[in-house]
Structure formats: C-alpha cells, structure tokens
C-alpha cells in the first residue's frame, strides 16, 4: 500500500524527493495492512508535511461496505501499447468477478496521464539532486581522501567522495535533476512539470465522487463520478536482475508509467495480487482512492480480496 501523501510521518526516512516520498506497507493480506496502517498513520509535528489531527478527523473511515453499487472507474489511458497482453486478459477476468459482486464499472478518462512519466522524472530527479547534495563525506559517512597531488576547490573534494560512493543510477538522476534546476532549464522543465502535476491532480479530482479535502482543482469537462479507480499495477512482470531492459534506463523508467500518476497526485493506492501473466510470474491490480480515503480504500480492498478469493 502507498498511503495518501502526508498520512504517515517521514521523520527518519532518508529523503529522495520530499514532495513524493511516502512510507508504504507490504503485507500478505489487507487485514494486516489495515492494522499496520492504523498504528503508523498519526500526526507527527517533526514532519511539517504530515497532516494534522484537524484534517484527519473528517476523513472517511473503514466502515463495512459491500461491493454492491460501488462505482469503479477504469481509466482508458492506462492501457498503453507497452502493456503485456496477458496482463490485460487477467485484468478483464478480475473485472468480471467484480461485476458479479455488484460493482459498477465506469470507463473514465484521465487525459494528462501521458505527461505523467516525464513530469515525475523531472520533479523527482530535481528534488533528489537537492536532497542528495548533503552527502559530501564531511559531517558523516564515507569520505574519499584526496591524494597528495590533489589541488582543487572544496567542490572538487566533494566530487571525489560523491563520485566514488554514489551508484550509477543515482549519479544519473542527480545530473538530470541538477540540469532541470539550472536557470536556463528551470522554466521549461521544472516549472512545466509542476504545472502538469496540477493538471494530473485535477484529472483525478474531476472523477472522484468525494472532493479532495486539501485543495480544489479547477477546469476540465464534467465526467461520470466514481468511488475508486482500478488499473493494472504494471505493464509487465518484474524484470529479472540479468534482464537486458534493466540496464537501459529509459526502458526501466517506463515500468513506473502506471503508478506514477497516483504518486504525483499524492493519492492512496493498494496493489492487490491478481493471478499471473503468460510467463507465470505474478501480477497485480491497483485500487486508487481520493486523497485521505485510505481507510475506506483498505475496506474496499478487503471486499475485492474476498471476491477474488471466492473464485480462485
């Protein structure tokens, strides 16, 4: 489960991208998830982005619900060509089970989805380049000692430590992020990405029945309202360590394409195991709720689990 942004305190979490980082929970079943979530989801004054009790009291709870009558939105933009066919087939089977349980499946459109991946990588790389600037080997951590022939600036000394101790992917993101924040690129990349982020959040706000407790979004054409959104969790099964696509960054970044929009919008999302793909490896489907609906989302997940369990 990835909870709503700001539900669980980030104090103590090594920051990657502050506006995106969330503490998540992995468990075998939704009941365990719920128990763990209830314990962790409290206000912490040490984290300025952790929401106050004032906001928490008004949020939906995990009262009993049945899937009968629940409207589940299926976003049409979440079936890109890269999506493995066997995953789509499994997904459809799952939808059938939900329909049988009484859920209403509603086709919806989230038009800004196609910008989500690039917006995500610009923002997260930029923030990461900022958050990782502190790893210089001075106050703590590994330190690469310059040799006797060294003659450079403070920045050069830092570069020794950082070049040696950061992994390749980390360095890549830091460089991209640094570029995105430079004066020349700032407007075109970082600011644009933030504008897209607002649009993506507005897309979600337009389809969810309940309004976003944190902020109002504007614009866009009215759509049918839904209670939750359901989509395949990933476009393919987990790549193996020696998989050629792992070494190609762009391809590996593509893996995130379906989960990134909920992260950008700060929405809660639970990935539920749902069969396996043609290569025999497990796949999942993700249920997404409006910001702050974590508890009711977990309840719905429990019902979906039951519906799937009955059939399998």
Partner 1 sequence: MLLVSRHVRRQSHLHSLLTWSRLSRSNFSNSAAHNEQVDEFDPLNDAATPRRKSAHKKSKEKPQSVRDQWPGWNIVVGIEVHAQLKTRNKLFSHTIVAENPDIMPNERVSLFDAAFPGTLPRINPMCISLAARTALALQADIQPRSAFDRKHYFYGDLPAGYQITQNYAPFARNGHVELLKTGKQVRIKQIQIEQDTAKSLSSGSGTTYDLNRVGMPLLEIVSQPDITSAEEAGEYVRSLQAILRSVGVSDGMMEAGSFRCDVNVSIHRDGEPMGTRTEVKNLNSIKSVILATNAEVVRQMAILNAVPSSSSNSPRIAQETLTFDEDTMLTRPLRSKEGVEDYRYMPDPNLPNVLFRKDDVSSIQDELMALGMTGHGPDGHVHYGWYGTKRRLQSLLDVSAPSSSVSDVKHSNAMEHMLRDLEVLMLLDAGKTVGWDGEVENGAVAFFERAIKGDQHSTHRRDPKVVLNWMIHELLGQLTYRQLTFAQNPLSAEQLGDIVDAVEASQITNTAGKTLLRHILDAATPLASDSSTDSTHTPPSLSIQSLIDQLGLAKSRSDTDLEEWCQRAIDELPDKAERVREGKLNVINALVGRVMKISKGAADAVSARAVLATKLGIQLQDGKSE
Residues 6+ away with beta carbon under 8 Å from 36 = 25, 27
Contact range with partner 1 by CB under 8 A, out of 56-64, 84-92, 180-188, 294-302: 180-188
Q: Which residues in 44-63 contact partner 1 (CB under 8 A)?
A: 45-49
Min dist CB 3 to partner 1, Å, is: 17
Min dist CB 60 to partner 1, Å, is: 24
* Closest CB to partner 1 among residues 56, 71: 56
Buried b (16+ CB within 10 A) or exposed e, 212-236: bbeeebeeeeebeebbbbbbbbbbb
β-pairing, 228-232 vs 71-75, is parallel
Query: What would the DSSP string read from start to end of 241-281?
Result: TT-HHHH-HHHHHHTTTTTHHHHHHT--EEEEEEEE-TTS-
DSSP 103: P
Min dist CB 96 to partner 1, Å, is: 42
15 touching partner 1, by CB under 8 A: yes
190 touching partner 1, by CB under 8 A: yes
Q: Which residues in 117-136 contact partner 1 (CB under 8 A)?
A: 126-127, 130, 132-134, 136
Min dist CB 232 to partner 1, Å, is: 29
Query: Under a CB-based contact definition with an 8 Å cutoff, are residues 293 and 211 in contact?
Result: no
- Tokens 């979906």 belong to which residue? 304
215 touching partner 1, by CB under 8 A: no
Among 181, 198, 214, 254, binds partner 1 (CB under 8 A): 181
Query: Which chain residues interact with partner 1 by CB under 8 A?
Result: 10-15, 17-19, 45-49, 126-127, 130, 132-134, 136, 138-140, 153-155, 158, 178, 181-183, 186, 190
């Amino acid at each position: 489960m990835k909870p709503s942004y700001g539900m669980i305190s980030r104090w103590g979490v090594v920051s990657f991208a502050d506006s995106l980082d969330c503490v998540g929970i992995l468990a075998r079943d939704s009941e365990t998830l719920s128990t763990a979530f209830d314990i962790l989801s409290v206000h912490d004054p040490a984290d300025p982005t952790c929401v106050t009790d004032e906001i928490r009291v008004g949020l939906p709870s995990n009262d009993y619900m049945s899937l009968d009558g629940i409207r589940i939105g299926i976003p049409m933009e979440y079936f890109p060509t890269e999506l493995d066919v066997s995953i789509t087939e499994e997904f459809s089977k799952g939808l059938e089970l939900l329909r049988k349980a009484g859920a209403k499946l509603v086709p919806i459109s989230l038009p800004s989805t196609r910008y989500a991946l690039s917006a995500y990588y610009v923002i997260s790389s930029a923030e990461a380049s900022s958050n990782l600037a502190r790893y210089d080997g001075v106050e703590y951590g590994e330190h690469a000692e310059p040799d006797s022939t060294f003659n450079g600036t403070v920045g050069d000394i830092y570069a020794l430590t950082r070049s040696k101790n950061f992994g390749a992917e980390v360095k890549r993101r830091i460089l991209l992020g640094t570029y995105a924040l430079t004066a020349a690129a700032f407007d075109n990349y970082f600011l644009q990405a933030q504008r897209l982020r607002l649009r993506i959040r507005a897309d979600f706000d337009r389809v969810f029945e309940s309004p976003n407790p944190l902020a109002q979004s504007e614009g866009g054409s009215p759509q049918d309202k839904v209670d939750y959104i359901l989509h395949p969790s990933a476009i393919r099964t987990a790549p193996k360590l020696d998989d050629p696509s792992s070494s190609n960054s762009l391809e590996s970044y593509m893996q995130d394409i379906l989960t990134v929009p909920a992260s950008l919008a700060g929405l809660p999302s639970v990935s539920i195991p749902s069969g396996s793909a043609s290569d025999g490896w497990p796949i999942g489907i993700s249920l997404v709720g409006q910001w702050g609906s974590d508890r009711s989302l977990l309840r719905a997940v429990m019902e979906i689990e039951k519906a799937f369990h009955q059939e399998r």
